[in-house]
Amino acid sequence: MVDWIRDFMNEASKIEKYRTVETMNHLTRRLGLNLSEVLKLDANENLFIPLDLQRSLLREAVEEVDPRRYPQDERIMLQDELGEYLNVEPEQILIGAGGDQLIELVFNSFLKRGDEVVSIAPTFSIYELAARIRGIRYRGVPLKDDFTLDLERLISYSARAQVIFLCSPNNPTANQFRLEEVKRIIEEFEGLVVVDEAYVEFASHSISHLADVYENLIVLRTFSKAFGLAGFRIGYAISNSELASILNESFQMPYPASQMAILLSLKILRRIDVVRKAIEEVKAERGSLIRRLNEVGGVKAFNSDTNFVLASFETESKKLYDALLSRGVLVKMVGNILNLENCLRITVAPPKMMDRFMDVLKEALK
């Protein structure tokens, strides 16, 4: 093998990997279950959007799409309609293949080996992974024990950094940060601030309306969560129009999102009434789940501004995770964060699914 390829492979093996669970087909075979018997609550997918509607819109898109063509007019239409939805100019919007691809776009555009990125801890692991594979220094500033920002420490840590990533609402703590604190970071930091608002539709406010006010702000959004299109990998960024134009024309790939994904995004955006109804249903069930969890001995569930709930258990998290999994319930094992031990992250799902989850959880905790 060529020496430099071997060196690359050796270095790559040292990078902590993004952990995904086994496929659903493999899991069902291993557990001896049917697919319908597995309750998947680990990826924060929005199961409140009616599947029949999604499939109906998909059939419409199939009839309209010409797979021989690259998407161009469709992308402009999506920018226009997102502009109306967000009350921003279409020129401020950049379409991408999901939030992860837009995070990579930020790294590829603004950062080079040896630079420094600052974020919070705990938070979405992709920021650190994207830094490590590029030889970029990553620093995570711990949140306070109540999950709020340690603002002074975050600003201090950022003195040598080029970019700050701030997930708000944050994954996995599920809380949204105060607008005034986020604005202070943007105003005092001399580099780029990327605010990841993947879960913002489930929260109380957004900072996207300030993207044309601050020249150093990029806001990331996605169709994977509130809009229920996780399987189509499409997201978008909002910034001032000059920065969006530069990123789009000089750094973004020419056709980052498929024609089908863009068309389906347009169609679900035009059914915003359904999306908003689903969001309200998520919020109602979220409150119910938090209450029900906190009624169980040895469990502490925390308030949430997202479509998932973080909970800490007296039972060892790996043991509980395995006990749930053996019964066909899949959640996200978080482990120990800040001053909390044995944490699991649970996607909020429709009531019948939550009823089953609570029954299985109580059985697993015995």
What's 206-244 look like in SS3? CCHHHCCCCCCEEEEEECCCCCCCHHHCCEEEECCHHHH
Answer whether residue 13 is part of any domain.
Answer: no
Domain range enclosing 305: 20-44+273-364
Q: Which tokens is 172 given? A: 């996995």
Q: Do residue 108 and residue 147 come from a single domain?
A: yes
Q: Do residue 290 and residue 256 come from a single domain?
A: no
Do 27 and 330 contact (CB within 8 A), yes or no?
yes
Answer whether residue 14 is part of any domain.
Answer: no
Which residues are CB-contacts of 191 (< 8 A; sequence separation ≥ 6)?
A: 158, 161, 162, 163, 164, 216
Number of domains in the chain: 2
Task: Pick the last residue of a domain from 220, 250, 270.
Answer: 270
For the chain, how many residues are written?
366
Q: What is the pLDDT along the chain (366 residues), one digit of tens a residue?
A: 666 656 666 766 666 655 666 677 777 777 777 777 789 999 999 999 999 999 999 999 999 999 999 998 999 999 999 999 999 999 999 999 999 999 999 999 999 999 999 999 999 999 999 999 999 999 999 999 999 999 999 999 999 999 999 999 999 999 999 999 999 999 999 999 999 999 999 999 999 999 999 999 999 999 999 999 999 999 999 999 999 999 999 999 889 999 999 999 999 999 999 999 999 999 999 999 999 999 999 999 999 999 999 999 999 999 999 999 999 999 999 999 999 999 999 999 999 999 999 999 999 998
pTM of the model: 0.94
Please tell me the distance from the alpha carbon of residue 75 to that of residue 81, in angstroms, as a whole number.
Answer: 10
Task: Pick the last residue of a domain from 270, 305, 324.
Answer: 270
Answer whether residue 5 is part of any domain.
Answer: no
Q: Do residue 31 and residue 107 come from a single domain?
A: no
Q: Do residue 342 and residue 239 come from a single domain?
A: no
Q: Do residue 40 and residue 60 come from a single domain?
A: no
Q: Do residue 326 and residue 344 come from a single domain?
A: yes
* 249 exposure class (CB count in 10 Å sphere: 0-12, 13-18, 19+): exposed
Domain containing residue 312: CATH number: 3.90.1150.10
